[in-house]
Amino acid sequence: MVRPASHHPRLTLTASRPGASIDHTYCGLSTLVPAVGVGWGWSGGRSVRRMTETNDFARMDATEQAALVRTGGASPVELVDEAIARIEKLNPRLNAVIHPLFDRARDQAASGALPDGPFRGVPILFKDLFCAVKGDPYHEGTRYLKEAGYRSPRTDELARRYLAAGFAYLGRTNTPELGLIPTTEPDAHGPTRNPWDLSRTTGGSSGGSAAAVAAGMVPVGHANDGGGSIRIPAPCCGLVGLKPSRGRSSLAPTTDPIVNPLVVELCVTRSVRDTAGVLDAVHGAVAGDTVVAPAPSRPYTQEVGADPGKLRIGILTENPLGTGEVHADCVAAAEAAGRLLESLGHHVGTEYPQALASPELVGQFTTMWCTGLPATFAAYEAQVGRPVTAADVEQLTWELAEMGRATSAPALVTALGAAHAYSLGVARWWEEWDLLVTPTLAEPPVELGTFSTPDEPILGFLRAATFVPFTAPFNVTGQPAIQLPLHQSDSGLPHRRAARRGVRSREPAA
């Protein structure tokens, strides 16, 4: 049985220049990630994690579950039934799964209809934002689509690849409205609660998937990231979260990196080897994709355990956007990772890309973020057949959409140009350095409701910038970045580190 990462005493480096990665013994990292974020692992608080401790499947990562199916140690039906039982037991308290699709999953597992892919029979949940499946409920966290009873008219390319890999798709997970803020508390479906502490946020926008994986409902949850939405829930819930390079996985047919350069797709997991295996299964372009990342020289799973040689590693613990102070626990997490790396023979210094320090990026990112919302509303209206009004969406969503409508084309082009110049300045640092280690978050997971400011909704959006200053810069640059659970606070919260190039996971006590 796979043991939690917290039981493993050492890390091993697994990738080579220009990227580095770090591995908790059995689960190495291999994805040429130039930045590593360090996050949380908790043990205290009002948790539900203990409820799954007697179930072996709940503790196994996807790689081990898939191996059981291949060797006859378990059947897809057994894995699916056990996962459904865990969801039915835990979800009333967590509210992670909002569209259960259990009957179909059972039928597919029992009929032998699952493809013979690398993860055949392994249960998975899809976030209810992108990764749509034709005919299934699809709300993107909005009351507008929920009240319309909307179902997707198509299956996205990413969903096809997950299904072709043999995953048993059990349903869809909660997300904040349109993925706009770093907590999963939509009006449409209510808050998702953190398995480590039910009073705390799971992060967002992939918070439903993160809670499900952390609680042991499933070993892998689909997730995506337009400003940190993989890397924020991962530290809040004690998981591995890799944001791949721009163009590494296809966004077809929903969008495209030219139209939406910030968003990438992948997953949250409990082991680095699972993240590598999922990336092997779903990466690559389709005909018509406009941005295509270079193909890897070998499968990502083969990078696990590879010797990277001696690396040059920088550490950044100050808020690069100037939006607030970084909590001492978060600083301690990154510094501890640096000491560990140094003890493994790597050169570790306090250098970091000076171009990252750009308070102006907040305004540029917000311009890019807001201008897509009116187009999203127009797409909804074409499908549902009536206008989106202020009564149909949350106050913050409407105000951000209004800001988008008020933004001129020259202002958007100027913001895109500034983002490109920022990317050039940041990327030059990696000509001399291999890896940047930062905290993933600027403070421990906050209480639910922290970002709710009904009288002035924009204040909640600005408050979010103090919570997550380390993630959005790498959506702007398009570089890969990974969150790894390597630290635990005195209060029991899971700490993670973020890396612009790599690390692994820990487990909640829920």
- Residues labelled catalytic: 127, 205, 229
**CA 324, 330, 333 angle in degrees (round to 5)?**
155
Whose tokens are 């499908």? That residue is 383
**DSSP class of residue 317?**
-
Cβ-based neighbours of 392, under 8 Å, separated by 6 or more? 142, 143, 144, 147
Q: Which residues pair with 488 in a beta bridge?
A: 494
Q: Roughly what angle, to the nearest 10 degrees, separates helices 373-384 and 360-371?
A: 20
Q: How far apart are CA 106 and CA 77, in angstroms?
A: 7
Structure tokens at 45: 């608080």
Q: How far apart are CA 105 and CA 103, in angstroms?
A: 5
Cβ-contact 369, 400 below 8 angstroms: yes
Structure tokens at 385: 């057949």
Longest Cα–Cα distance of the chain, Å, equals: 62
Secondary structure tally for the chain: helices H, strands E: 16, 14
Q: How far apart are CA 234 and CA 230, in angstroms?
A: 6
Helix (H, G, I), strand (E, B) or coil at 200: strand
Give the type of residue at 282: V
Q: What Rg value do the Cα atoms of the chain yield, rounded?
A: 21
Q: How far apart are CA 450 and CA 463, in angstroms?
A: 8
> What are the backbone dihedrals phi and psi of residue 404, each rounded to the nearest 5 degrees, phi first?
-65, -45
Cβ-contact 25, 12 below 8 angstroms: yes
- By CB atoms closer than 10 A (0-12, 13-18, 19+), residue 150 is middle
Cβ-contact 218, 170 below 8 angstroms: yes
Helix (H, G, I), strand (E, B) or coil at 17: coil
Reported in sequence order, the residue ranges of 96-189 that DSSP labels E, i.e. its strands, are 97-100, 123-127, 168-173
Strands 35-40 and 22-23: unpaired
Cβ-contact 479, 427 below 8 angstroms: yes
> What are the backbone dihedrals phi and psi of residue 202, each rounded to the nearest 5 degrees, phi first?
-90, 0
Cβ-contact 484, 38 below 8 angstroms: yes
